[in-house]
Amino acid sequence: MTQLDTSDAAAETLKGGPGRRRVRMTGRGVPLPLLIPALVGLAFLLLPLVALLVRAPWRSLPSQLTSTEVWQALQLSLFSATAATAVSLVLGVPLAWVLARTEFPGRGFLRALVTLPLVLPPVVGGVALLLALGRNGVVGQWLDSWFGITLPFTTTGVVVAEAFVAMPFLVISVEGTLRAADPRYEEAAQTLGASRFTAFRRVTLPLIAPGIAAGAVLAWARALGEFGATITFAGNFPGRTQTMPLAVYLALQNDPEAAIALSLVLLAVSIAVLAGLRDRWMTTS
């Protein structure tokens, strides 16, 4: 619950909604001890992005961006981030429901475990994935010998790595929304004869749809920027496992201009998607 409260408070601050109104009512400005750190914080977050724009090689940009490598990496990034989000949705929403709506011993502990990939350095996550799902891994060796499936060095491996890192964002977001949703709607549906699954499908899901959408965007954004787990688990091969962040990192070594160009593309895509989705929610909600 506490988490939800803080996120609500954060939302109000972000929106400048009630806070701004209160300021207007009393007619006093923002107190300096809050305003100055706030402005420093804003500058801290925006300055690197501005620097990227200032130093961008605008003249050579068109030729940089039309290279096949960039398109390969961009396509792969968009595809794998979307696939990772789909995987997260299919597995994460039920997981969030179980965490929010059922009672069993050790649930708090389980919840903490689910959020572990949030704090784990992604490279460590990548090593853990190798040990679990690698060709010689705990589960991976059976995948290999029974089904002939090996995940490392494949595009599927990229999706797995991204889903591992991104799914907790979705679970946390959906679980918070579920806890905020009134369970009495589901109970009412059940007293009217709906099974628990039907109630989930017909009542709960529509109710928490915005929360799911928010979680999905968070997960997608995290997956798009994933670097550490991907390069560790899936390696780096153009067109197969080299996503945009990997391309940026490797380009930085011998061609910083290309790296800046790639970063700009990633930035533009992310802003476009986030802005697009936000507008849609704003009008429908």
Q: Which residues would be at the binding site for other proteins (CB under 8 A)?
A: 7-8, 10-12, 14-15, 45, 48-49, 122-123, 130-131, 134-136, 152-153, 173, 176-177, 180-182, 207-208, 210-211, 213-215, 217-218, 220-222, 224-228, 231, 234-238, 241, 245, 248-250, 252-254, 256, 263, 266-267, 270-271, 274, 277-278, 281-282, 285
Q: Please work out, in degrees rounded to the nearest 5, the angle formed at the alpha carbon of residue 257 by the alpha carbons of 256 and 261.
A: 115
For other proteins, give the closer residue by CB, 26 or 265. Answer: 265
Q: How far is the CB of 109 from other proteins (least distance, A)?
A: 25
Q: How far is the CB of 65 from other proteins (least distance, A)?
A: 17
Q: Length of the chain in residues, anyone? A: 285
Q: How far is the CB of 134 from other proteins (least distance, A)?
A: 5
CB atoms within 10 A of CB 252: 15
What are the angstrom distances between the C-alpha of 61 and each of 2, 65, 67? Answer: 47, 6, 10
For other proteins, give the closer residue by CB, 137 or 200. Answer: 137
Q: Which residues contact 273 (CB under 8 A, 6 or more apart)?
A: 217, 220, 221
Q: How far is the CB of 104 from other proteins (least distance, A)?
A: 26
DSSP 237-264: -TTTT--HHHHHHHHHHH-HHHHHHHHH
For other proteins, give the closer residue by CB, 7 or 190. Answer: 7
| Nearest in space to 70 (alpha carbons), one of 250, 193, 244, 231 | 244
Q: How far is the CB of 262 from other proteins (least distance, A)?
A: 10
